[in-house]
Amino acid sequence: MSHTTKNGLSSPYVELDREAWAALRASTPLSLTEEDLAVLRGTTDPTSLDDVRDIYLPLSRLLNLYVGATQQRHAAVRAFLGEADRPSPFIIGVAGSVAVGKSTTARLLRSLLAQWPNHPNVELVSTDNFLYPNTVLQSCGLMRRKGFPESYDRRALVRFVSEMKAGAERIDIPVYSHLSYDVVPGEKQTVLRPDILIVEGINVLQPATAGRLAVADFFDYSIYVDAKVENIRGWYLDRFRELRRTAFSDPRSYFHHMATSISEEEALEFAANTWRTINEINLVENIRPTRGRATLVLYKGDDHRVRRVRLRKT
């Protein structure tokens, strides 16, 4: 555990190894089963019940403490104003690269946080739902920039989060399909006013341009899932191989031709090139630079398991 910098100065961060972090679970019960976890895990994600016990239960406990303190603060303000309506949702941002495991992290947190009695209603929204449709991206020459900040309808995303924070009872948002690789025309995800809202996406910690608000400005807590670039590349290619064997074989898949029309060698070359020319550039230029804005960073080792945690104390 470290509370000081290399030059001996005090730091607002504390860094804990896996063992020290796991000890902070205290008596938080493990209620997930192997079957539950199998549903929550992403493709080729090796997260185990040991990982849930050591990493996500302590994080669930910490977030529960934050939520409770925030609810008390909101109650005090409402009492002062003589208002009786419910507090606004506690909003958590989960960021990180493609293939690093942030979606699994977000789904696990949704499941674990909903089991605490003081905030049973937990909603999860992916920022993929706010990608511009492919027709828009194509007309703007942005298809090979998909996932970069400019490929999202950032105004709509900020409006959604700000309205949720303001206490909106219900908001309908678009739905993105990874199968069709596009926003689904006419389909909506209905978000009813939750106790906790988790917003997951690669660019959720992106700062705003001058004079505007960013989605992160509405977060009460933020998490960044991190790993070495070369490890994430390997996990991305592993996931691509598995998707080629499974989801891409569906005729409705945007990438169906990857499973049927070209060789595995050609498909993997396509994936490696996509990583090199799109995802890695986005990670290095846009995603990784936002890590310092996170309240908590989960650092993964070569085996995809969280090895240490950096927590901002203030």
Binding site for ATP, by residue number, is 96-103
Beta strands (DSSP E) in the chain are: 2-4, 10-17, 90-96, 122-126, 170-177, 182-192, 196-200, 221-226, 296-300, 306-312
State how far the alpha carbon of 278 is from the alpha carbons of 2, 170, 179, 216, 306, in Å: 36, 35, 19, 24, 26
State how far the alpha carbon of 93 is from the alpha carbons of 34, 196, 215, 218, 267, in Å: 26, 11, 9, 9, 33
Beta bridge partners of 191: 171
Task: Please tell me the distance from the alpha carbon of residue 116 to that of residue 312, in angstroms, as a whole number.
Answer: 23
Beta bridge partners of 312: 13
Binding residues: 96-103
Task: Please tell me the distance from the alpha carbon of residue 259 to that of residue 271, in angstroms, as a whole number.
Answer: 12
Tell me which amino acid residue 218 is.
Answer: F
Beta bridge partners of 95: 224
